[in-house]
Amino acid sequence: MKPTILVTGATGNTGLLLVDQFAAARKDFRVMVHTPTKAALVQKGKAEVVIGDFIDTASLERALEGIERAYLVSPASPDMVKQQKAFVDVAKKTGLKRIVKLAALGTAPDSPVGLLRQHAEIEEYIKKSGIAYTLLRPHFFMENLLGNIGTIKSDSAIYSPLGDARISAISTADIAAVALRTLIEDGHAGKTYTLTGPEAVTYGRIADIVGEVIGRKVAYIPVSYDTAHGGMVKSGMPEWLVDDLVRLMKTWSKGAGDVVSPDVEKILGRKPVSLKEFFFRHKTALINSAEKVG
């Protein structure tokens, strides 16, 4: 049977998990990847893999041929609007019936965060295209918290400029599970879903939860935004993205991240994964990080 669902961004944070879930569900689906090298990563289950590029109209036409529903996501970049609008244009030509687009919590045309304004522009473009849509707006990914393993090992500490601000991080596995449901089920057209974890907590509480899981105290140490900015640049992130992430965190420090939505539970019929559950799933890596050298 020819697939009628397309997954883009299939080697990304949510896309790879969505591929795994399609494969586990034994569904026919098509996957678009950028290079042949990445094709091996997504050759799972009943996946039909195609090579495509958001700025190559012919490759998009091949990827979308016979497709009725598509998961739309592309890497954060200054070209994100151009890339995703190009996808929408071709999707309209090929008769796509619904787009499930991944955006982010706080998406709005007047956001101080450039990426959130970009997402808003794309969302509006999709709405005006006449293609049915489902918009997913997840909060901060829990997986990003695993980036603290280095300082847990070296300092028994987690650093952040967020102070007492609360965030409700969500597992990317839950985002992928929601994406799967909205792609294979009816009843989600025209809906915008806010995707969060089950609770909003401070970084101090996050440090406490990690400590409970590994059986050793982990401190939360506040740092300035300048320090956080420098650390992200040093890690190799492009400066334009770091600037935007700092602007995003500043909105959270004013309360914009203190949101707990029921949407994940409504769609999946269960509560989203909690931080404690998430850290227990990654306990081995965390315990290894707790074994300080020297």
CATH topology for the 5-138 domain:
Rossmann fold (3.40.50)
Q: Which of 140, 82, 116 is nearest to 241 (CA)?
A: 116
Going residue by residue through the chain, which has 294 residues, state the pLDDT in tens, using 9 for 90 and above: 789 999 999 999 999 999 999 999 999 999 999 988 899 889 999 999 999 999 999 999 999 999 999 999 999 999 999 999 999 999 999 999 999 999 999 999 999 999 999 999 999 999 999 999 999 999 999 999 999 999 998 999 999 999 999 999 999 999 999 999 999 999 999 999 999 999 999 999 999 999 999 999 999 999 999 999 999 999 999 999 999 999 999 999 999 999 999 999 999 999 999 999 999 999 888 877 655 433
Tokens 């706080």 correspond to what residue?
106
Amino acid present at 276: K
Give the three-class secondary structure for 166: coil
Residue ranges, comma separated, of all CATH 3.40.50.720 domains in the chain are 5-138
Q: pTM for this one? A: 0.95
Locate CATH 3.90.25.10 in the chain. 143-166+198-257+273-290
CATH number, domain 143-166+198-257+273-290: 3.90.25.10
DSSP 187-229: S-TTEEEEE--S--B-HHHHHHHHHHHHTS--EEEE--HHHHH
Q: Contact at 8 Å (CB) between 145 and 169?
A: yes
Considering only CA atoms, which of 52, 7, 2, 9 is closest in space to residue 28? 2
Q: What pLDDT is recorded for position 40?
A: 87
- How far, CA to CA in Å, does 210 sit from each of 160, 164, 221, 292? 15, 17, 14, 15
pLDDT at 1: 73
Q: What is the pLDDT of residue 252?
A: 98
| pLDDT value at residue 241 | 96
